[in-house]
């Protein structure tokens, strides 16, 4: 479909010419996200107020102009890529923390506030915003809500959806509405706030977000333990949780990851073990040594070796260095990768890892797996050179087979990254025909002209499906 002619003078009249970019060079900066997919928009617009967003969406409906909301562009599945051309709605000017309410433990923010910035600011008040995607130093809270971002702390603290109480948003047709309240409870009507979480920019543009906060934990303890067999690591995870200790993180690195990181850091990581766990507990200072002792004992019972308990913050930093070095270490094996974030019930992690090894052998690929053992979210990285089409073809077949395995194990195709463009061919595999059609009806009811982030989640040729 050809892009529609750009109603530039009308756009300029709404936001001011200084807030509109149209040159190829400028548009190139908004053509991509971390998926490496790329498509040029016709213009990039920086609205300043909710009324401007509303006017822009009304205009887009009149001209059938696609609109692509954008935060930091760090998404991994192409959800912010303006495929098909249209207007990128860059939310950069909505970057203020509006309120931190210490008594009610609530923060009200605009959507372009960087996740880590909110964490830092609330900590100054003794408060804690737990969702911790690895991208927290550059991703925005609006993007986090749209993708329901999560991180290592999800095992104890949950993900973005667990902290969002309400929002101000503009529906695709231009109406401005408020969902939720500053209260934790609220049961008046459908839960539109939850509907917006994970909506990937397809149902509306968020302009204000209300988050609940927690008291900041007093202290943290960290340890690392190596396990000869992956089953022992998985067993350890479930025994720790059953012992009524919920660690704030329970990270797993498989043998292939250990080898890659050791070659990069030379820090003495065991090479003959199938997995290591990084375990962290937080909370009241006077309870943590007791929790750590209990966890160590569970690890020992399950045959753990090379146990490394951080006594000082420098030891803690050393342990986390291993985990944080995975990405740069991977970059040394191959220039590219396909990074899937499949998630299975915890007890199925060993089975998943063995299937992944089988796929690596079957398709002649290097596959490195690590991730959040506490919630079964395993990042599966297929290393490749994207210019090698034959290798890419094998990798894509392996991904398809991986997705079938994950669904058979009772898991989900994505724990954190979402559907976007890259997973849209597999969307119906997980949600089923009835689920797909129900979601499509919601999309069509709120966005009758399909202007909001078209071509995401729903396959392009099914997005106009009429029930
Ligand atoms: C190195 C790296 C590590 C990462 N680690 C993690 C991780 O640990 N956990 C995790 O969950 N993700 C991770 N991600 C993915 C990514 O950071 C998240 O998906 C993040 O939430 C995207 O935020 P963003 O501001 O970059 O959004 P963008 O990429 O700009 O947009 C993502 C989606 O949000 C929509 N959107 C953005 N702003 C708005 C708004 N105001 N209103 C409506 N829709 C909007 C866009 O239309 C798009 O559909 C990682 C990415 C990278 C590059």
State whether residue 133 is helix, strand or coil.
Answer: coil
334-408 has the same fold as 219-327:
yes
Q: How far is the CA of 245 from the centre of ligand 1 (A)?
A: 31
Q: How far is the CA of 229 from the centre of ligand 1 (A)?
A: 35
The conformational region for residue 133 under phi > 0 = left, psi -120 to 50 = alpha, else beta, is: beta
Q: How far is the CA of 409 from the centre of ligand 1 (A)?
A: 27
Euclidean distance between CA atoms 103 and 84, whole angstroms: 47
Q: How far is the CA of 456 from the centre of ligand 1 (A)?
A: 14
Q: How far is the CA of 350 from the centre of ligand 1 (A)?
A: 29
- CB neighbour list of residue 22: distance below 8 Å, 6 or more residues apart: 6, 8, 42, 43, 44
Euclidean distance between CA atoms 156 and 248, whole angstroms: 5
Beta strands in 151-284 (DSSP E): 164-170, 176-180, 205-212, 214-215, 219-227, 249-254, 275-283
Ligand 1, residue 159: give the atom nearest the CA: 11
**pLDDT one-digit tens code per residue, 42-59:** 999 999 999 999 999 999
Euclidean distance between CA atoms 126 and 105, whole angstroms: 10
347, with CB counted inside 10 A (0-12, 13-18, 19+), is middle
- What pLDDT shows up at residue 223? 96
Q: How far is the CA of 143 from the centre of ligand 1 (A)?
A: 4
- What pLDDT shows up at residue 125? 98
Ligand 1, residue 207: give the atom nearest the CA: 41
Q: How far is the CA of 135 from the centre of ligand 1 (A)?
A: 8
CB 406 within 8 A of CB 352: yes
> Which residue owns the Cα nearest ligand 1 atom 11?
149
Euclidean distance between CA atoms 250 and 259, whole angstroms: 20
Euclidean distance between CA atoms 214 and 129, whole angstroms: 7
Euclidean distance between CA atoms 439 and 16, whole angstroms: 36
> Which residue owns the Cα nearest ligand 1 atom 2?
135
Q: Which of 29, 74, 114 to mutate to test the pocket of ligand 1 (most atoms within 8 A of CB)?
A: 74
Q: How far is the CA of 291 from the centre of ligand 1 (A)?
A: 34
State whether residue 211 is helix, strand or coil.
Answer: strand
Ligand 1, residue 136: give the atom nearest the CA: 17
Ligand 1, residue 94: give the atom nearest the CA: 41
Lateral strand order in the sheet of 176-180: 97-101, 106-109, 205-212, 164-170, 176-180
Q: How far is the CA of 161 from the centre of ligand 1 (A)?
A: 14
Q: Pairing relation of β-strands 43-45 and 20-21?
A: antiparallel
Euclidean distance between CA atoms 302 and 305, whole angstroms: 9
Helix pair angle (285-301, 230-242), 10° resolution: 140
Question: Which residues form the pocket of ligand 1, taking CB atoms under 6 Å from any ligand atom?
Answer: 33-34, 68-76, 79-80, 91, 111, 133-135, 139-140, 142-144, 146-147, 149-151, 200-201, 205-206, 416-417, 453
Structure-token pair, residue 467: 């029930």
- What pLDDT shows up at residue 4? 76
Name the fold adopted by 219-327: Alpha-Beta Plaits (3.30.70)
Taking 3-state DSSP, the helix, strand and coil percentages for the chain, each rounded to the nearest 5, stand at 40, 20, 40
CB 44 within 8 A of CB 113: no
Q: Which of 30, 33, 71, 167 to mutate to test the pocket of ligand 1 (most atoms within 8 A of CB)?
A: 71
Q: Which of 32, 118, 146 to mutate to test the pocket of ligand 1 (most atoms within 8 A of CB)?
A: 146
- What pLDDT shows up at residue 142? 98
Task: Out of 3.30.360.10, 3.30.70.2740, 1.10.10.10, 2.20.25.240, select the CATH number for domain 334-408.
Answer: 3.30.70.2740
Exposed e or buried b for every residue in 279-295, given b needs 16+ CB within 10 A? bbbbbeeeebeebbeeb
- What pLDDT shows up at residue 467? 34
Q: Which of 139, 158, 172, 204 to mutate to test the pocket of ligand 1 (most atoms within 8 A of CB)?
A: 139
> Which residue owns the Cα nearest ligand 1 atom 1?
135
- What pLDDT shows up at residue 466? 42
Q: Is 8-90 a CATH 3.30.43.10 domain? A: yes
Q: How far is the CA of 307 from the centre of ligand 1 (A)?
A: 35
Q: How far is the CA of 379 from the centre of ligand 1 (A)?
A: 16
Ranges of each domain in the chain: 8-90, 97-215, 219-327, 334-408, 424-462
Q: How far is the CA of 163 from the centre of ligand 1 (A)?
A: 16
Exposed e or buried b for every residue in 196-230, given b needs 16+ CB within 10 A? bbbbbbbbbbbbbbbbbbeebbeebbbbbbbbbeb
Q: Which residues of the chain have pLDDT under 50?
A: 465-467
> Which residue owns the Cα nearest ligand 1 atom 44?
201
Task: Out of 3.90.1150.10, 3.20.20.70, 3.30.465.10, 3.20.20.10, select the CATH number for domain 97-215.
Answer: 3.30.465.10
Ligand 1, residue 140: give the atom nearest the CA: 25
């Amino acid at each position: 479909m050809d892009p529609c002619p750009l109603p530039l003078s009308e756009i300029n009249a709404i936001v001011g010419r200084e807030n509109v970019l149209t040159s190829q060079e400028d548009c190139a900066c908004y053509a991509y996200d971390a998926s490496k997919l790329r498509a040029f928009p016709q213009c990039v617009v920086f609205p300043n107020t909710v009324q401007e967003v509303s006017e822009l969406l009304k205009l887009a409906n009149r001209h059938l102009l696609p609109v692509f909301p954008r935060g930091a562009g760090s998404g991994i599945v192409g959800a912010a890529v303006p495929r098909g051309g249209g207007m990128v709605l860059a939310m950069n000017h909505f970057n203020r923390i509006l309120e931190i309410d210490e008594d009610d433990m609530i923060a009200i923010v605009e959507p372009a506030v960087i996740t880590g910035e909110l964490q830092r600011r609330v900590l100054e008040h003794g408060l804690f915003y737990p969702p911790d995607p690895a991208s927290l130093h550059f991703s925005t809270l609006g993007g986090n809500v749209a993708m329901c971002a999560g991180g290592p702390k999800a095992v104890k603290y949950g993900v973005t959806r667990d902290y969002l109480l309400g929002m101000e948003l503009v529906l695709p047709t231009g109406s401005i509405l408020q969902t939720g309240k500053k209260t934790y409870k609220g049961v008046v009507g459908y839960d539109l706030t939850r509907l917006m979480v994970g909506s990937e920019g397809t149902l509306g543009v968020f302009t204000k977000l209300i988050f609940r906060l927690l008291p900041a934990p007093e202290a943290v303890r960290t340890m690392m333990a190596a396990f000869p067999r992956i089953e022992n690591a998985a067993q350890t995870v479930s025994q720790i949780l059953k012992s009524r200790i919920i660690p704030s993180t329970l990270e797993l690195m498989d043998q292939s990851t250990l080898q890659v990181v050791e070659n990069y850091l030379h820090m003495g990581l065991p090479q003959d073990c199938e997995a290591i766990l990084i375990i962290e507990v937080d909370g009241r200072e006077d309870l943590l040594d007791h929790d750590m002792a209990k966890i160590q004992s569970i690890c020992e019972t399950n045959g753990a070796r090379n146990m490394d308990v951080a006594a000082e913050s420098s030891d803690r930093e050393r342990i986390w260095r291993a985990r944080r070095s995975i990405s740069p270490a991977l970059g040394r094996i191959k220039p590219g990768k396909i990074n899937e974030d499949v998630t299975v019930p915890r007890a199925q992690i060993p089975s998943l890892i063995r299937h992944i090894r089988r796929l690596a052998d079957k398709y002649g690929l290097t596959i490195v797996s690590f991730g959040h053992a506490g919630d079964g979210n395993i990042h599966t990285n297929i290393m490749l050179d994207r210019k090698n089409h034959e290798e890419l073809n094998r990798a894509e077949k392996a991904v398809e087979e991986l997705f079938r395995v994950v669904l058979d194990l009772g898991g989900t195709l994505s724990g954190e990254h979402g559907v976007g463009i890259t997973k849209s061919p597999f969307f119906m595999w997980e949600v089923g025909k009835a689920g797909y059609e129900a979601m499509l009806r919601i999309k069509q009811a709120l966005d009758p002209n399909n202007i909001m982030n078209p071509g995401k989640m729903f396959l392009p040729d099914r997005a106009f499906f009429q029930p």
